Structure 1
Amino acid sequence: MRDGDRVRCATYMLRDYAYLWWEGAAHGVNLATLTWNQFKDIFYNKYFPADVRGRLTQEFMSLQQGDLSVAEFIRRFDRDCHFVPLIPRDATEKLRHFMDGLRPTIHWDVMLMRLATYDATTACAFQAEQALRDIDVEMQRKRHQTQQSSQP
């Protein structure tokens, strides 16, 4: 896709305050020669100033799943990944960083699969999380049955 098309698609998706901001900002640029990188620079400088980008970079570098669901972890990982440009450009590094941030029980299950792509790894992480939930539900069910059978 050409830069001009990317810019048009992105600006078409702007809503509310972002759309109003772009209407004003567009007057200060030559839309015929505006590159995708120039548009991103203008957008990021408005909505993600240097201090915010720095904070998001630090958050990304220390991002751990912890108590987050896999879906929430992936959402934060993908959002913050854009502010650390070397990682998303290197598929191996992106995958390693994602795996390092997963909760150990999910990390183990995903690691055993030895997947080579980020998309396959995130899909596997979803499956591992669901399997852990299923195990937990089954254990609770058995515990409840044991308690009921031991009562007079």
Structure 2
Amino acid sequence: MGLGDEDRVRCATYLFGGDSRLRWEGASVALNVDTLSWTHFTEVFYSKYFTDEVRARLTREFMNLRQGHMTVTEFIRNFERGCHLVPLIANDAGAKWRQFLDGLRPILRRDVRVADPTTYDVAVSRALATEQDLIDIERDR
């Protein structure tokens, strides 16, 4: 059972702490938080906390995100954090897994592609398994 808009907003505002909570309370004075839709909440939140310049910079960082020396788990975490900034990718299943594959280290990307993933979840599972295989191979040397 999924959360309704009101529940999502309540959960998100509950997670605010300290200065963030105070800033949100100031920003939400003119809003009825009990009936605020999730879409409107995110619009208000992003306009308050992420200027256009910050969003543009974060979008560029996401589009250029590469695994490098990160573990697959760290890369997934960073990928998921940035993905919501680019709705054209986040809302297109094929674009999402292709962007994910493009960011993987070449040796992992090769093995994941060989598995021919058709979804992001399959690509993630295969990347995690491949990384573990490589760790096992190194340990056995």
TM-score, structure 1 normalization: 0.83
User: Per-residue CA shift, 1:34-55, capped at 9, x if unaligned?
Assistant: 2211111111122222111101
Residue type of the partner of 1:46? Answer: K
User: Per-residue CA shift, 1:48-68, capped at 9, x if unaligned?
Assistant: 221111011111111111111
**Which residue matches 1:144?**
none
**Which residue matches 1:111?**
113
Deviation at 1:115, TM superposition (A): 2.0
2:9 to 1, 7, 32: 7
**Which residue matches 1:27?**
29
Point out the structure with max Rg over C-alpha.
Answer: 1
Let me know the Cα RMSD of the aligned residues. Answer: 1.5
Deviation at 1:135, TM superposition (A): 1.2
SS at match of 1:27: coil
Q: Is 2:63 the partner of 1:54?
A: no
TM-score, structure 2 normalization: 0.89
Q: Answer yes or no: is the 8 Å Cα contact 2:27–2:48 preserved in 1.
A: no
Equivalent residues in 2 for 1:1-152, closer than 5 Å: 1-139=3-141
SS at match of 2:29: helix
Residue type of the partner of 2:75? Answer: F
The runs of at least 4 consecutive aligned structure 1 residues that moved more than 3 Å come to none
Which of the pair is proportionally richer in helix? 1
Q: Structure 1: any 5+ residue segments left out of the alignment?
A: 140-152
Q: Structure 2: any 5+ residue segments left out of the alignment?
A: none
User: Per-residue CA shift, 1:9-32, capped at 9, x if unaligned?
Assistant: 211222222222222222121334
- State how far apart, in whole Å, the 1-side matches of 2:15 and 2:122 are: 28
- State how far apart, in whole Å, the 2-side matches of 1:75 and 1:58 are: 17
